[in-house]
Structure 1
Amino acid sequence: MNTLKAWGGAIAAVGMMVILGGCAATPSTETKAANQATLDNRAPFLPSALFPGSAQRFDAWHCEPAQQHLVAATNANDLRLWSLHGAWRLPQAVVASGARYQDGEISFWNRGDEALVETPRGQLQCSLAEQRDALTRAEKPGVMFFGQGNEPGWTVALANDTPTLTMETNYGEERLQLPYMVSVMDNEAGRVVIENADVEPFFRVRIDAGACFDNMSGKPFPARVTLTYGGEQYSGCGQGIAP
């Protein structure tokens, strides 16, 4: 199976931007399966596009001429790459110097702190801007996904064993632990929406695979997170945490 299809993406270009658009999916079937897991009191499987794989670090790349910002995580045999519009996975290719990853007409060629991204519509010249160590289960025991945002500070953590969300708001002054149900699970697009089911207080968390940068530190993440709670909407970044 083509690697891009395995991640459920189709590359599209707008000007010089590198964009991944999701192919047609069957979210109703995926959502039904995810909610069967929650009914069985098991945490649902999240899309792989939210995780770094075996990579221990995320790299932020700032690219010209499109002012495009990318996030990458390098594994043993492939590169996971996130743009502002999605994610894809490129196998390692043979190259004389540096590290090259390619799938069809899409490639990422890294040489030190510089990288060249090639698409059917042109090239992006990229420079390494920021790095961040990937979160691990040692740092976040029992957590499958962790999201955070600023002003005011908030966090959400999805348990790895049960469909339970732990939410902290107002810089940790308020803390709630609540069960959730899945309203959207789209593995191909890397999208998940969870919310409480007939329980107060209402909350909704939307997670989308795509390059995200902390608005205070600039640190890179592979997912955008939107939290709706208490009549307010908060935006931030997040990461899936593998065992």
Structure 2
Amino acid sequence: MGTYRDFWPAAVAGALLIGGCAAPGAGPSATGGSAESTSGKPLGADVSTAPLLPPALFPGEGEGFEAWRCAPANQHMVTAFGDETLKLWSLHGAWQLPQAVVASGARYQNGEISFWNRGDKAQVETPRGQLKCQLAHSRDARTRDNHPGVMFFAHGNEPGWTVELDNHEPLLTLSTDYGDTTETLPYMMSVMDNDAGRVVLENANAGRFFRVRIEAAACFDDMSGNPHPARVTLSIDGEQYSGCGEGIAP
């Protein structure tokens, strides 16, 4: 899996800091890599293979995800540790920090942004301030062994639903009503923004409308508290459902 481009725009660094929180739904500024439909024809309409998703939706080198509760700004973050890099998701976006040499603990730094952890405690520093974090949850990342042929998996609760994106074709398998109803539907990509880690998928069959919006950002299961690297919103049959998701590496 390719690595996510190292960047932390100064305009959004405050998303992790006291008094610098971005508005809900805001994320890193997209200066390039954005692809959206401009001709009224959704992207991917003529593509018979599944589109590649932004690397920010995947754990990268990491084998699991960690949830951190941070103070005093009441921020919550998700991390995935690789051998030499750290992927970091806040409520407002995703970043990658390379590892720096330190005497103790593990420090990851990208310019003036750093994440330093020792055991179940961590410290995040930026030019705008500092956060103290405590490890809250951790879990293994999903794998193709457990989800064969699936590139992205999302789920939500009350009522329970899941969405699986096929790794080979632009098809999604939608399960609703706690698994009582399952169907496979073709989709088209109407928005792809690699820099922001944002994707919007819509129905390829005009007979039934649905939309799946995926955004790279810290997401926590509202029942278990388990961490995920993406927020997912499913709209179908006039209803809207919210949940979490993650890319599944080969």
TM-score, structure 1 length as denominator?
A: 0.92
Structure 2 residue aligned with 1:176, among 166, 183, 186? 183
Distance 1:30 1:195, change over 3 A: closer
* Matched residue SS, 1:39: coil
1:132 corresponds to which residue? 139
Aligned 1:1-243 pairs, distance under 5 A: 6=5, 9-10=8-9, 11-13=12-14, 15-16=17-18, 21-25=28-32, 27-28=34-35, 35-36=43-44, 39-243=46-250
Distance 1:35 1:23, change over 3 A: closer
Q: Aligned letter for 1:172?
A: G
Q: Aligned letter for 1:227?
A: L
The structure with the largest strand share of the pair is 1
Farther off after superposition, 164-173 or 193-202: 193-202
Q: Which runs of 5+ in 1 are unaligned?
A: none
Distance 1:137 1:197, change over 3 A: same
Distance 1:8 1:187, change over 3 A: farther
Q: Aligned letter for 2:43?
A: N
Alignment: residue pair count:
238
Contact 1:180 1:196 in 2 (8 A): yes
Q: 2:147 and 2:7 mapped to 1: Cα distance?
A: 28
Farther off after superposition, 38-47 or 75-84: 38-47
Give how far 1:26 is off.
Answer: 5.0
Q: 1:141 and 1:93 mapped to 2: Cα distance?
A: 36
Q: CA RMSD in A?
A: 2.1
Contact 1:165 1:179 in 2 (8 A): yes
* Matched residue SS, 1:152: coil
Distance 1:9 1:228, change over 3 A: farther
* Matched residue SS, 2:43: helix
Identity of aligned residues (%): 60
Q: Aligned letter for 1:210?
A: A
Q: 1:63 and 1:157 mapped to 2: Cα distance?
A: 31
Q: 1:238 and 1:157 mapped to 2: Cα distance?
A: 10
Distance 1:233 1:172, change over 3 A: same
Farther off after superposition, 214-223 or 15-24: 15-24
Q: 2:105 and 2:8 mapped to 1: Cα distance?
A: 26
